[in-house]
Amino acid sequence: MPAHRWDLLLTHATLATLDGEAPFGLVENAALAIADGRIAWLGPMDALPKRTSIGRSEDLGGRLLTPALVDCHTHLVFAGNRANEFDMRLNGASYEQIARAGGGIRSSVAAVRQADEDELLRQSLPRARALLGDGVATLEIKSGYGLDLDNERKMLRVARRIGQLLGIGVRTTYLAAHALPPEYRDDADGYVDALIDWLPQLHAEGLVDAVDAFCESIGFSPAQTRRLFEAARTLGIPVKLHADQLSDLGGAALTAEFGGLSADHVEYTGEDGVRAMAKRGTVAVLLPGAFHVLRETKLPPIALLREHGVAMAVATDCNPGTSPLLSLRQAMQLACTHFRLTPEEALRGATVNAARALGLADRGILRKGLRADLVAWEVAHPAELCYWLGGQLATRIYVAGQPLS
């Protein structure tokens, strides 16, 4: 009788396990076995167990094998685009000026409200496919361009459908506290009352995995954000926050106070916020795409995050206005170039730390017992994933052990 029964055995690979103390957790001339959608064994080829029953094997020919990428912050469900704002910024308009003039998020709200669910899905699917093609097998999708009950529901339903159609993991985040809709232009507190009222309904429909808000002077105040977080806590829903992107309103510390999964952007977060995040295990999600497109100069506090041991994730922030980015690998490259992350920090940021920012402990590392979400890359060393600008490097993507490409 065979001692092991494996569905798939991948051989002659270079593994970047991201496990252990070796750089990238590299294991050369290695193999990895999958059973029931999970990693059943991994190690050097010469240590392969002898008594095995193997359903199928694939020779990777020396290719790099990593955990599949996790994009933990996206707004990819939207209609239309905002290329005109890109032009406006290049002609001198600031993010805040565009928003106060009725552009920005509000223009995307109008487009989403005009699109029915099928049309919104039709426009959004290609963006998800682009991320998948570059190695993403789990992604987060936020609402926040509907800003009323029916349209927030529509966005969240589309996000769920994307996961079902593509066979990938999708985590949904309720971001109704993204901007004030026209109906509440002069009544921010009234709008917060409304979006808190919608939350239990959407959660009961299985559409909300986390709650988020845009806590800024042009968004929602810390007091309003706190009210939303308290409502989420009552329902047992984890929180995260667009925190300290344009100013330090204490958003990162507020998120940590509620045991938040992540504080995202964090360009203006001070040491008190970093200490609070470290204490509660809140992940700092770096979004270099928005930093790049907005031509920002205020860097996130990378040295402080390292000093205090705050896990750093990297995400695309894929959205129509400030980060029209369709490659998580490109976000990793931008994180290295703009924020001076090392390639290993960037890869961990787009795998294990990104999974942690979504509350997922079953992926992001190559380790026995975890989900077999994997990518085979046409490169020899993991640093190349951050080195190459563009190009199709992913040759094979596996989700729960099943090949998607």
Return the residue matching tokens 């990693």.
39
| Rounded Cα gap, residues 272 and 244, in angstroms | 12
Is residue 82 marked as binding?
A: yes
| Residue type at 225 in one-letter notation | T
Give the mean pLDDT of the chain. 95
Asked if the model's pLDDT at residue 85 lies above 70, the reply is: yes
- Identical fold for domains 5-67+365-404 and 69-358, yes or no, is no
Name the 3-class secondary structure at 339: helix
| Rounded Cα gap, residues 296 and 364, in angstroms | 30
**CB distance 263 to 242 below 8 Å:** no
**Topology at the third CATH level for domain 5-67+365-404:** Urease, subunit C; domain 1 (2.30.40)
| Rounded Cα gap, residues 45 and 30, in angstroms | 5
- Looking at the domain that runs over 69-358, which CATH code has it been given? 3.20.20.140
| Rounded Cα gap, residues 20 and 30, in angstroms | 16
Is residue 317 marked as binding?
A: yes
| Rounded Cα gap, residues 364 and 82, in angstroms | 33
Is residue 245 marked as binding?
A: yes
Asked if the model's pLDDT at residue 1 lies above 50, the reply is: no
| Rounded Cα gap, residues 273 and 248, in angstroms | 9
Asked if the model's pLDDT at residue 22 lies above 70, the reply is: yes
| Rounded Cα gap, residues 18 and 21, in angstroms | 9
Is residue 319 marked as binding?
A: yes
Express each pLDDT in 97-122 by its tens digit: 877 776 778 889 999 999 999 999 99
Is residue 322 marked as binding?
A: yes
Is residue 71 marked as binding?
A: no
Is residue 164 marked as binding?
A: no
Is residue 184 marked as binding?
A: no
Handedness of CA 60, 22, 136, 5 (dihedral sign): positive
Burial string for 317-354 (b: 16+ CB within 10 Å, else e) reads: bbbbbbbbbbbbbbbbbbbbebbebebbbbbbbbbbbb
Whose CA is closest to 291, among 339, 241, 348, 351?
339
Asked if the model's pLDDT at residue 127 lies above 90, the reply is: yes
Whose CA is closest to 68, among 137, 123, 162, 133?
137
Cβ-based burial of 118 (10 A; exposed 0-12, middle 13-18, buried ≥19): exposed
**CB distance 277 to 270 below 8 Å:** no
Is residue 265 marked as binding?
A: no
**How does DSSP classify residue 239?**
B
Q: Categorize the per-residue pLDDT at 3 as very low, low, confident or very high, splitting at 50, 70 and 90.
A: low
Express each pLDDT in 23-78 by its tens digit: 999 999 999 999 999 999 999 999 999 877 889 999 999 999 999 999 999 999 99
Query: What is the residue extent of each domain of the chain?
Result: 5-67+365-404, 69-358
- Cα dihedral 391, 395, 400, 404, rounded to 10, equals 90
Q: Categorize the per-residue pLDDT at 2 as very low, low, confident or very high, splitting at 50, 70 and 90.
A: low
For position 405, what pLDDT does the model report?
60
Express each pLDDT in 149-185 by its tens digit: 999 999 999 999 999 999 999 999 999 999 999 999 8
